[in-house]
Amino acid sequence: SIASYEYFKLRGVPFVKPLPLVGGMFPVLSGAMSVVDCTSEGYRRFRASRFSGLFMFRQPAYLIHDPELIKRIAIADFDHFVDHSFKFSTKMDPFLGRSLFFMDGLRWRQGRSGLSPAFTGSKMRSMFGLLTSYCEGAMERP
């Protein structure tokens, strides 16, 4: 129903105005934009906000803009954010089905717990130089 499109308005969250049935996904469905470009539009429109919203068809989705808020969600409050909108089974796509971005529930918790030790502050600092050199090399290529 159209009433579900009031979700962000009632909460005072800036949002990309949805179209009936498709929400903000019309550019994706028409082939004019990729999903990444479509969601990036929300970031560009509401740069000054800590977060904004868009509708993936009739489902509301938050776009988090503020790095500190992202850090809080990803580290301190991660137990409250275990389910994701897009889900792929390993049968549907063996690679994406094993990605943390597309897991939910217990599988997500186990995967995140397994990866967390690899991303401690000291390990990230030690990898920084290597990553920087690779990125600089990639940017120099035509």
What's the rounded Cα separation, in Å, for the pair 28 and 137?
33
- The pLDDT score that the predictor gives to residue 66 is 92
The radius of gyration of the chain from alpha carbons, rounded to an integer in Å, stands at 18
What's the rounded Cα separation, in Å, for the pair 81 and 36?
20
**64 φ, ψ (degrees, to nearest 5):** -90, 125
Q: What is the pTM of this model?
A: 0.62
How do the pLDDT tens digits run along the chain, 142 residues long? 556 788 999 999 999 888 888 888 888 889 998 878 888 888 889 999 999 998 888 888 888 899 999 888 877 777 776 666 566 667 767 776 777 767 777 777 787 777 778 878 888 888 888 888 888 888 876 6
